[in-house]
Amino acid sequence: DGGITQSPKYLFRKEGQNVTLSCEQNLNHDAMYWYRQDPGQGLRLIYYSQIVNDFQKGDIAEGYSVSREKKESFPLTVTSAQKNPTAFYLCASSMSSGGAYNEQFFGPGTRLTVL
Amino acid sequence: GQQVMQIPQYQHVQEGEDFTTYCNSSTTLSNIQWYKQRPGGHPVFLIQLVKSGEVKKQKRLTFQFGEAKKNSSLHITATQTTDVGTYFCAGRRHGQNFVFGPGTRLSVLP
């Protein structure tokens, strides 16, 4: 069953703690993305990766870090430097980042609450 | 930087009425995508428009890309309760990533 998975669905952390969100895809997609969604603001790009072992900052990368050691996996770490980490985090993948095959497939999301 | 705006922010319609959401970019786009997010769900791809003036239809949904490739619209004919959700446009300049608009939240009253 092909798709993109994120875990956990809900995550609670204390302020000052780092937390890592998981994202896995078995679609054989080259490109992967992390977005943050806040009410009324749509989706904002945090980081993206076009190929294994390479990634670039998006529009709101401060306070976040990523790795892309495997094609299937693109974990996101929310560090204590992120000022307002409580949000809904969406991971997505696409066959490529440009051209015709850039339809993005989204995971179910992780809702992070920092207490 | 590139900005993508959508209006209206919210729309409440009676079932059977039509609905239109508009997407406007501050810059010329190479292509534009539309996504739908059901309440509590994740965005799902609907369509991509590439050509100036392009019009595409999916059953009751009609998508249009403006002649100047700076705006787009999504029109739903005779809305149903299954159309409830937030509709996002995402615009892309050549060589850049997609930028999502803030979305239009549609409510359909039975």
Tens of pLDDT, residues B46-101: 999 999 999 999 999 999 999 999 999 999 999 999 999 999 999 998 888 899 99
For residue A115, is pLDDT > 90?
A: no
Q: Please give, rounded to a whole number of angstroms, the shortest distance from the CA of A80 to a CA of chain B.
A: 26
Q: Does B48 touch chain A (CB under 8 A)?
A: yes
Say how far residue B82 (Cα) sits from the centre of its chain. Answer: 16
Out of A1-5, B19-23, B37-41, least confident range: A1-5
Cβ-based contacts of B1 with chain A (< 8 Å): 59
Give residue A42's pLDDT band: very low, low, confident or very high (50, 70, 90): confident
Q: List % helix, strand, coil for chain B (3-state, nearest 5).
A: 5, 55, 40
Evaluate the omega torsion of the peptide bond into residue B110 and state whether it is cis, within 30 degrees of 0: no
Give residue A81's pLDDT band: very low, low, confident or very high (50, 70, 90): confident
